[in-house]
Structure 1
């Protein structure tokens, strides 16, 4: 049975005053998959994410979500559909506790996110769900800790919790392990694997070890265009991909020694 594409782009292109940052990208993300968007610096990965999440309008092309065009929709409209970008959209306030941060995200889901004048008692009905979400990302013991006092890797896990509070069907994760040590990377990999159950994940990630451990499918970008696509084994063997990451001389040496 053919799996449905939850997200597609057709001829997606973004030009900046004559410079083509994204060039005719056709992306197909299958529902229930963890799909990675990788490539060397300047490949256009972040621009693609900005186009998908409405931070930028495309010059040309089309974006479809569950087969329906969303190209002209606004960021808040696509979030309500279930397409949510983590680590940039999610609200994490340094001088609120982990519980308070998740509760703010839950308020957003209810359409009352900026009602900060509401009494503490009026928000207590959100506490049980907030604790469930903190438990899901391994942060229940941090519920009453100020975010500014949390270790870096735990802050990133909190951002996942605030994203989950928006009830996403498709999570877009932008460099989820950037700047982390090995222990935190392992923790975030397991967290992504756990929260991806019943959801679809599209992630930009530089760490190829993370990609190899997590992802069902990989799209490689270079100079704004799709260079290769497939599972990790196929993509990692592609000579064009090795050249893009390592340079032509290094790729040739590796091929000769293989």
Structure 2
């Protein structure tokens, strides 16, 4: 267990009489990039929302660095280093790129979302905000309104705001969803860079991204674990090939 950053044990989520996730066991190794995939309706989003504390499991438990966080609030687990991004970009469109990151830093440093604070009071955060923007490659856009960014750069900004919370475990929800081909490779490269020294769990529909990015993959079908292993292992598993109706193509 010592090498496991995030563990789900017997995770089950029932909505009414429907079990969307059934007895799922998932272990994310510390320092790895782990993907959760599956065909439509497989239960991967529900499972991801359980692990990210957006939903509370009906049964089972979640361990973060060996600590049971199953009943903790999202804000509590975020303070412990478990931080997620969302498929729909969660940024403030009318603030500048720098201001978006600074708001995240205010939360991280305990100064809160006090928009009425003077610029002098939050100025010490600017240097760290600029470092984060440089890390994700959008430092040249620091003074642009977030709404003016391209879709790929908005995703990079969201990753910067996630990094501002100093995550040990990053949970990324469909990081390349809706992107054109020209944006996918830069975001994939960015995830590789920011994953150094961290643990990453992602839900991702683009299997070419999964094949080049992830150390381990868990495949869900009908709310249950169908297969787990490297990309090579799962892509050659006949059950996975059947689930994807023709297999996994790079």
Could you say which TM-score interval applies, normalised by the shorter chain?
Answer: over 0.9
Greater Rg, structure 1 or structure 2? 1
Aligned length: 248
Displacement of 1:88 in angstroms is: 6.0
Structure 1 residues 73 and 88, CA gap change in structure 2 (3 angstroms):
farther
Contact 1:90 1:105 in 2 (8 A): no
**Alignment match, 2:65:** 66
Residues 206-232 of structure 1 show CA distances to partners (whole Å, capped at 9, x for unaligned) of: 000000000000000001000000000
**Alignment match, 1:238:** 237
Contact 1:216 1:231 in 2 (8 A): yes
CA distance in 2, matches of 1:168, 1:156: 17
Displacement of 1:79 in angstroms is: 0.2
**Alignment match, 1:44:** 43
Q: Give the alignment's Cα RMSD to 1 decimal.
A: 1.5
Displacement of 1:99 in angstroms is: 0.1
Unaligned runs of 5+ in 2: none
CA distance in 2, matches of 1:90, 1:108: 18
**Alignment match, 2:96:** 97
**Alignment match, 1:185:** 184
Instruction: Name the TM-score, length of structure 2 as normaliser.
Output: 0.96
Contact 2:2 2:66 in 1 (8 A): no
CA distance in 1, matches of 2:237, 2:204: 18
Unaligned runs of 5+ in 1: none
| 3-state SS, counterpart of residue 198 of structure 1 | coil
Q: Which runs of structure 1 show a deviation greater than 6 angstroms over 4 or more consecutive aligned residues?
A: none
Instruction: Name the TM-score, length of structure 1 as normaliser.
Output: 0.93
CA distance in 2, matches of 1:166, 1:68: 20
